[in-house]
Amino acid sequence: MASNHLTGIGSESKQLATWYFTFAAIIFGAQLLFGLVAAIQYVMPGFLFELLDFSVARMLHINALVVWMVFAMFGSVYWLLPDETGIETIGIKIGKLLYWVFVAAIVVVILVYLFIQVGPADETSIWFIHEGREYIEAPRWADFGIVVVALGFVANLWLTGFKGKNSGIVTVLMADMIAFAGLYLAGMFFTDNITVDQYWWWWVIHLWVEATWEVFVGAIAAYGLITMIGAHRKVVEMWLWIEVAMLFGSGILGIGHHYFWIGTPEYWWEIGALFSALEPLPLVAMFIHVLYDWGKTQGAQDATGQEVSVINNKPAFTWFVLNAFGNFLGAGIWGFFHTLPQVNLYTHGTQFTSAHGHLAFFGAYATILIGMMYIAVQGTNGIKIMKNTRASLWAVSLIVGGVMGMTIALTIAGYVQVLVSRAQMGATWAGYFDGQSGMWFAQAMDWRLFMGAITFLGFLFLVKDLLSTGKNPVHER
Amino acid sequence: MAKTSVWSDNRFWQRSAAWITGFAAVLLIWLTFDTAGQISMGTDADLQNKVTKRVPGPTVINYKITYEMSTKRGHEVPVIGEKEKFFGRDDWSEEEAGALLHLGKLGSQTKNCMNCHTLLGNGAYYAPDLTKAWLDPAWQNDGTMQAMTGKSTKEEAMAEFLQHPSTYPTHARMMPDLGITAEEAKGLVAFLKHMSSIDTNGFPRNFGKIQGAVNGK
């Protein structure tokens, strides 16, 4: 049965979406917890030493990040499909089965990371423990499982897209999600040549994060603007196509900025510099797009003489607007300022990258996915106009404040590291620790931990709000 | 019906998006073929014939490696010099050296090195970059690490440290014991030596200049 976005009740696709969102929120919590462990270890190196070392905490931190975002992405697609196509998602039974397969696999992988941690230097470790390759550590058995689950998801999306009404948003998602699933294959082999290893590793990481994930965000933002403020579909979809052209046009060859120093030829300097300098442009466009459509629809509403907000979901819309800001700031500005090879020669692999990573993943992806969770809360509870609660406001303030604080602290740490360890000492072992022991660096790491704790507190408010706000009588039903 | 502009036509933008994406993807694939040829691993014959490869063959462990300023390229490049003993031998065959590198690369992944260290600048930032670790002054003959482990060669000192890292702390932030065996340690050191010979376009710049690592001093 097709359903209106405001009444998710009765749609199996939307029910499956809420399952995905729930597990995503749990793993989001795990990401923050292991991030806190890793942040404590920077300040107190003896913390959990040889029990839960930094390497394990950090692996869990970044893997949980990827997994919760992928879960929330799948959830978002299952949520919007009935609205966009006008029909129930095809193959929903298999979709539900694959969900449980996926959840079970993730739980097993996490338990192995936690309790086995490292194995001998042979293929069995690669198959059953982890592959030791940043972000895509999942052991090989899980890789195959992930491919199967992803193909099932893509099949559901394609079959539904073909049978139902085919909107621009669905078309973009169909193309984007097949690229997203296909690129994972580039990270599923072993080679002795670390340069070749890193070359293909970036096909997964960069082409995901700076191409397919960004296009996904564009499609979700388009859906959100139509459902939350009633933006005109033709205008929204025109922006979406322009964004896709700009995102893929800059992002695909922007991969060159990862090929400066890994043993690849020099021509990547020019290609990487040019295209990654273009990468912020679509983010500016996305930023303008959201504010423009908001102003346009609100202006049209104001012209009727009534003082009514066009926003029917305040917390979700807040997170969507934060996405417009955060994507531009975190991915655009923080990314751009160390993307040129002349700068990157010194900043590559320092806390600068970490500062950019924290703000970009949060600003570009976490914000909009949290927004989608609020849309699902509105839909499942049949709320006409959803308002902010005290907990919504605490959640958004603490999380945004915490992540910004972490980013600024890590940026300062990055400066110290670049000046002392890299520019002055030439990146040796001793030079590295000179940089790490500097007072500014140490204080920055204290602040990072403090701001991380603030973020976690905000997460607790977020969970409370997501679980309780649906039944809160402040909303108009 | 009013005449509409092509600029406000969604079909126009849809086609533009498809063409631009296709063009960028084709260009990336074409560049990938070119790069793949340039980053494939060299052979023992290349090394003997002084053919410079961006990623030399595994038998590079039989030679002395330095990191020297190239006036032509304007930055430091790895230079493969005369023969040098590696664990007492400078005649590792292509098969033996290849097997050692294979073990080391596997070990670098199974021991999760990248989630503390950076390799070629990628990874975590909790521990030093390993790109040119083999050339680090700390492991040289009068270096602190070699002295601490009580070994007389660089490779033995590194292997000893890898097997018992918490016995030789260099900082409050210590490396944990990862159960690395003697054979695995040997492989890991071979992997590190091989990595130091990769042409990284001058990264890290001025490596160890102050401590005299540049120009083989």
Tens-binned pLDDT, residue by residue, of chain B (217 aa): 567 888 989 999 999 999 999 999 999 999 999 999 999 999 999 999 999 999 999 999 999 999 999 999 999 999 999 999 999 999 999 999 999 999 999 999 999 999 999 999 999 999 999 999 999 999 998 889 999 999 999 999 999 999 999 899 888 999 999 999 999 999 999 999 999 999 999 999 989 775 555 544 4
Residue A273 lies in a domain: yes
Q: pLDDT confidence of A2, banded at 50, 70, 90?
A: very low
Residue A6: the pLDDT is 52
Residue B110: the pLDDT is 97
Looking at A132, A166, A200, the residue that finishes a domain is A166
User: Are residue A377 and residue A248 in the same domain, yes or no?
Assistant: yes
Chain A neighbors of B31, CB-CB under 8 A: 267, 271
User: Are residue A257 and residue A113 in the same domain, yes or no?
Assistant: no
Looking at A166, A194, A212, the residue that finishes a domain is A166
Residue A46 lies in a domain: yes
pLDDT at A292 over 70: yes
User: Are residue A133 and residue A262 in the same domain, yes or no?
Assistant: no
CB contact under 8 A, B176 and A53: yes
Least CB–CB distance from B123: residue in A130, A134, A253: A134
Residue A8: the pLDDT is 63
* Predicted confidence (pLDDT) per residue in A89-116, tens digit: 999 999 999 999 999 999 999 999 999 9
Neighbour tally for A373: CB within 10 Å:
27
CA distance B171 to A410: 21
Whether B185 has its CB under 8 Å from any CB of chain A: the answer is: no
Residue A282 lies in a domain: yes
CA distance B59 to B91: 8
Q: pLDDT confidence of A1, banded at 50, 70, 90?
A: very low
- Looking at 1.20.1740, 3.30.870, 1.20.950, 1.10.760, the CATH number of the domain B42-197 comes to 1.10.760
User: Are residue A38 and residue A152 in the same domain, yes or no?
Assistant: yes
CA distance A93 to chain B (A): 33
Whether A41 has its CB under 8 Å from any CB of chain B: the answer is: yes
CB contact under 8 A, B210 and A133: no
CB contact under 8 A, B98 and A192: yes
pTM tops 0.90: yes
How much of chain A, in percent, has pLDDT values that exceed 70?
A: 98
Residue A212 lies in a domain: no
Q: Which CATH number goes with the domain that contains A378?
A: 1.20.210.10
Residue B216: the pLDDT is 45
Residue A185 lies in a domain: no
Check if the beta carbon of residue A269 is closer than 8 Å to that of residue A257: no
Task: Find the domain containing A450 and state its range.
Answer: 220-476
Please count the structural domains in chain A.
2
pLDDT at A379 over 60: yes
Q: Mutate one of B116, B119, B125, B145 to test the A interface: name it (highest A CB count within 10 A).
A: B125
Residue A193 lies in a domain: no
Looking at A133, A166, A199, the residue that finishes a domain is A166
